[in-house]
Amino acid sequence: MDSSTKRPGPLVSAGRGLMLSVVSLAGSITLFVLSVLSLVFIVLGFGVFTTPAVLTMVRAHANQRRLLAARWSGVRIPVPYRPFPADARTGVTGRVERCSLMLKDPATWRDLQWLLVDMTAGFITALLSCALLLYAVEGFVLAAGLWRVFTDDRYWYAFVPVDSQATGLAAAGLGAVLFGLGVRYNADLLRGHFLLAKALLAPGTDQEMALRIERLTESRHDAVDTSAAELRRIERDLHDGAQARLVAVGMDLGTVEALIEKDPAKAKALIGKARQSSAEALTELRDLVRGIHPPVLAERGLGDAVKALALRLPVEIEVQVELTGRAPAPVESAAYFAVSEALTNVVKHAGADRAWIDVSHTGGMLRIAVTDNGGGGAVIGTGSGLSGLERRLGTFDGVLAVSSPAGGPTMVTMEIPCELS
């Protein structure tokens, strides 16, 4: 198991398994039936309008399972969906085009195959993680006296016929064995459920490589554009701020030079003004440098930089950091500004009054989770802050997962492969 996720206790695993079994059975069956019907309706014409909506729900269902796999068992399942064109058309033509693009995406058909398996084998593996403990309790109850109900009609507990106190105690013994197996293996059964999902949802090696190359190419273009925009911002800030103040300081000093003998009092006043202008210019330069690379990040590392960032925001933020070293400087910088972007979204859009940040590194992966108690509804889409955040992480082959149901809470999980020094 990825050590970024601690092994859950047996009762926690049982509860999670029970929840997953319900979702696997009800959710996957419903979405599979809707998907098949919608695909059949394409022949009738109106399926091209219903299919994108249904497949979007299927993707949301699969993405939720990806998020749970990472959070609960440390199983990372890539998100291989092809992005829609930025200039996609709207109206009827746009819906037909969207339907065509989704049906041409191999990930769509992997999702449908996964639904079929999730409602069967996925349901069984999830249910087993809680059934072992629940079934064990029945053995104890039989031994405690419930066996008397079945004296006239023998009751089978697994392979043990229960019709007396002795057989009830045998049922309790079997229950103890099952309980021990559940305590030891139900977390592994839960992980097996997610590994089964990964086997079906994750792209093949060739497809994953092609997808990675495509994302890296896009990330490279974004990085170049971002770098050019950052250079323009720095040039503009220097020109409008520190440079203008330094020019004014130079002019004041020139005036002082001319007045130093004629009007010492006025020259002294201009020297004071020049000193103030130089101090303001120095402050602006420091702010500019802090925007490029915060000094606390360079001096004390990502953990302390994130804590300092949290202190400056108007919402209550709890920060938990578990790092045993320093990540490479470019990775630290990308992670810091990704957290900054996520927190900016919390302050501006979430309507939250509390947030939590967890930073850890295990298994060669830097993992950051930003959670808030806001209204939810955050999505990764063209033009959103989360899209820029995803592109920033993509430069380092990182991934972004977002869980934000209506009503909240919102959890943004970021992972960047790196080693600590």
Over the stretch 179-198, which tens digit does the pLDDT of each residue have? 888 888 888 889 999 999 99
Task: In whole angstroms, give the CA distance from residue 391 to residue 56.
Answer: 22
- Which residues, including other chains, have CB under 8 Å from residue 24's CB and lie 6 or more apart? 118, 119, 122, 123, 126
Domain end marker among 292, 326, 347: 292
Domain end marker among 230, 260, 292: 292
The pLDDT, as a whole number, for residue 375 is 80
On whether residue 5 sits in a domain, the answer given is no
More confident residue, 249 or 321: 321
Q: What are phi and psi of 157, to 5 degrees?
A: -105, 105
On whether residue 1 sits in a domain, the answer given is no
The pLDDT, as a whole number, for residue 3 is 41
pTM of the predicted model as reported, rounded to 2 decimal places: 0.56
- Same domain assignment for residues 277 and 315: no
The pLDDT, as a whole number, for residue 4 is 42
Does position 221 have pLDDT exceeding 70, yes or no? no
Q: How many CB atoms lie within 10 A of CB 346?
A: 25
pLDDT (average), residues 73-83: 80
- Same domain assignment for residues 322 and 387: yes
Exposure of 219 by Cβ count < 10 A (0-12 exposed, 13-18 middle, 19+ buried)? Answer: buried
Q: 163-179 pLDDT, tens per residue? A: 777 877 888 888 888 88
The pLDDT, as a whole number, for residue 236 is 62
- Same domain assignment for residues 262 and 224: yes
In the chain, the N- to C-terminal Cα span, in Å, equals 23
- Same domain assignment for residues 185 and 109: yes
Total residue length of the chain: 421
Pairing of strands 160-162, 155-157: antiparallel
Domain end marker among 258, 292, 326: 292
On whether residue 344 sits in a domain, the answer given is yes
Q: Is 90 helix (H, G, I), strand (E, B) or coil?
A: coil
- Same domain assignment for residues 232 and 184: no
Q: Which tokens go with 331?
A: 């990775």
Q: What is the DSSP letter of 406?
A: T
Instruction: Report the number of distinct structural domains present in the chain.
Output: 3
The pLDDT, as a whole number, for residue 2 is 44
Q: Which tokens go with 250?
A: 């130079």
Task: In whole angstroms, give the CA distance from residue 141 to residue 334.
Answer: 56
- Same domain assignment for residues 178 and 319: no
- Same domain assignment for residues 85 and 190: yes
On whether residue 145 sits in a domain, the answer given is yes
Pairing of strands 365-372, 410-417: antiparallel
- Same domain assignment for residues 284 and 317: no
Provide the residue range defining the domain that includes 255: 210-292
- Same domain assignment for residues 21 and 137: yes
pLDDT (average), residues 392-421: 81
Q: What is the DSSP letter of 95?
A: H
The pLDDT, as a whole number, for residue 243 is 65
The pLDDT, as a whole number, for residue 110 is 92
On whether residue 309 sits in a domain, the answer given is yes
Q: How many CB atoms lie within 10 A of CB 27?
A: 19
Does position 294 have pLDDT exceeding 60, yes or no? yes
- Same domain assignment for residues 229 and 326: no
On whether residue 286 sits in a domain, the answer given is yes
- What is the residue type of 22? V
Does position 37 have pLDDT exceeding 90, yes or no? yes
- Same domain assignment for residues 149 and 197: yes
Does position 204 have pLDDT exceeding 80, yes or no? no
Measured CA to CA in angstroms, residue 321 lies from 297, 344, 400 at distances of: 14, 20, 19
- Same domain assignment for residues 321 and 395: yes
- Stretch among 25-39, 77-91, 219-233, 391-405 having the lowest mean pLDDT: 219-233
